């Protein structure tokens, strides 16, 4: 039973890391989209 608990804790750590990566990727993509919009407006001038 202890082995199952250990695996569950490790799985929680891995899922947390993937969640953090997802959050960071979302922030980077949002910033990139914003920057592309600014660049587009500048090029249209």
Joined tokens for residue 15: 């899922």
Domain that holds residue 19: 1-44
Q: Is 45 helix (H, G, I), strand (E, B) or coil?
A: coil
Q: What is the pLDDT of residue 23?
A: 99
d(CA 42, CA 34): 13
pTM recorded for the entire structure = 0.73
pLDDT tens, N- to C-terminus, the chain (45 residues): 999 999 999 999 999 999 999 999 999 999 999 999 999 999 999
Total of domains in the chain? 1
d(CA 33, CA 41): 12
Q: HSE-up of 34 (CA within 13 Å, CB side)?
A: 6
Q: What is the pLDDT of residue 17?
A: 98
């Amino acid at each position: 039973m202890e082995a199952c608990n250990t695996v569950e804790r490790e799985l929680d750590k891995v899922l947390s890391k993937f969640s953090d990566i997802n959050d960071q990727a979302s922030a980077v993509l949002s910033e990139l989209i914003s920057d592309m919009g600014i660049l587009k407006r500048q090029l249209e001038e």
